[in-house]
Structure 1
Amino acid sequence: MRLRDHSRFSKRTAAYCGLAAPLVALSAIVLATVLATPETFTWHGRALSDMGRPGTRTFLLFNGGLIAGGLFGIPFAWRLWVTSFGRVERLGVVLLVTSVVGMIGVGVFFLGHTEYYLERNLHFAAALTFFGVAPFAQWVYGTGQVLDGARGLGLLSIWFGIVHPVTWLVWLVSRAGTTDSWAWFAVPEFVAALAFGGWILVLAGDLHLADTEGRESHD
């Protein structure tokens, strides 16, 4: 295989990884909610991470799905980096990687991991990294896309990012004045995960389409 063909194959494979990453992670989360017992998870009374506790039937599925999805996301981030046109987009890619590392961390440092390894609980830091950085990755990368002329796709990226604070704000307002302030916490978590995963799918799909059109133009 020639060097040019190898590079093209690597980029195409990385785009496929971008398609796989959210599908693997989100499918694992959804399937875990179906398989989890009421003692492990309910939308009203638990967080998504409760499905990753040791001893639950969803332990491997939930944590493994997050880790695998995150690992698929790393080569996709490389593809975004090498095809970025400016510094703003590349800063967005750095933030994307940071968020993906946070997602992997949620699976690696599951709730209760201190009983097995590490004395310091890193689960909440990992979760905060994912949920806190994800919208900034979308805003910054989307801004870079707009600056580089991809206005439609850039604005879509920015709107995906807006979903996060709006969702959390709606949840906070809904809990005001209630005695169970953490009820339905899993809902904004899942919506935020959908917004991030949907964004990755859009970007990966756009790159895959570009790869297909480019390949056909050379045939």
Structure 2
Amino acid sequence: MTKHQKRLSVPKSWPVERKEETYTTKAAAGPHGEEGVPLLIVLRDVLGYVDSKKEARYALEQDSVLINGKAVSDERRPVGMFDILAFVEREEYYRVFPDEGGRLSLTPIDEESAGSKLGKIIGKTQVTGGDTQLTLHDGQTLLVDDASEYDANDSIVVSNDDGEVVAHFTYEEGALVTAVRGAHAGQIGTIDEIQVTPGSSANNVLIEGDDDRFETVEEYVVVIDENFTDGGDGE
């Protein structure tokens, strides 16, 4: 299977110039599905820390590049929304956050904030033993004791060290949110109204932003904390 992908066909969220060259690196299988951006693109095209795949591989061999607290050795490892990137030797830390064009961008954060990651709950199932398994937007799963505390579309902050939930943001009117896809990707505001649509159609969400009021579908909305807009950890 090829490890290259045509630039013109990459997802809109990828931070690459589509017309500079014909091909770019293809993401390996992993978190975030097709939306995941290969780490090489972040290192080379976004940050400029390396000039080639060979340099990226050498850098990763030093175990000083972490994603969500774990050292990464594969330059094709997918990076996606709300991942935490840590460059230990440089003492630099970033949160992956959608910008207003829908592209994934890097928000500088402090070392303490890099210890945990935001996740949107997209599934909740009962498992053997009575625990509840939560599935997050990037495919991560974790077990919780109290099923009633969490619902789909809520957001949680998970510790990178032990996988424990350290903060919980409820999806409800009045919650601070960001749109992560669609025409309003990257915009932040407060939920004014959740319009429940009968049948299988998506629910609409009316959001009051700083400058305007906009509407998007529920799938594109993620609850955040005000600290996520200024480099804080959401706690």
Q: State the TM-score, normalized to the length of structure 1.
A: 0.28
* Structure with greater helix percent: 1
* Structure with greater strand percent: 2
Structure with larger RCO (C-alpha < 8 A, sep 6+): 1
Q: State the TM-score, normalized to the length of structure 2.
A: 0.26
